[in-house]
């Protein structure tokens, strides 16, 4: 099982990994660096889709 997040903003950010914690970390970093948003772990986790 893999975890995936694609940015809902108009950029090409997408992360997919079998490590949920890695996805959460990258999503939080992207939100801060590109969108000046501070996400909690919970906020980032809510964005994750489970994919095969």
Is residue 13's pLDDT more than 90? yes
Q: For the chain, what percent of residues have pLDDT higher than 70? A: 100
Please state the separation of Cα 32 from the chain's center in Å. 11
Q: Compute the distance between CA of residue 19 and CA of residue 8 in angstroms, rounded to an integer.
A: 21
User: Does the reported pTM lie above 0.85?
Assistant: yes
Q: 20-41 pLDDT, tens per residue?
A: 999 999 999 999 999 999 999 9
Q: 24-31: which pairs have CB atoms within 8 A and are 24 or more residues apart?
A: 24/48
pLDDT at residue 10 greater than cutoff 90: no
Q: Domain-by-domain residue ranges, the chain?
A: 2-51
């Amino acid at each position: 099982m893999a975890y995936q997040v694609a940015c809902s903003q108009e950029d090409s950010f997408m992360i997919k990994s079998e490590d949920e914690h890695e996805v959460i970390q990258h999503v939080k970093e992207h939100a801060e660096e590109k969108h000046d948003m501070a996400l909690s772990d919970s906020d980032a986790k809510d964005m994750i889709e489970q994919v095969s």
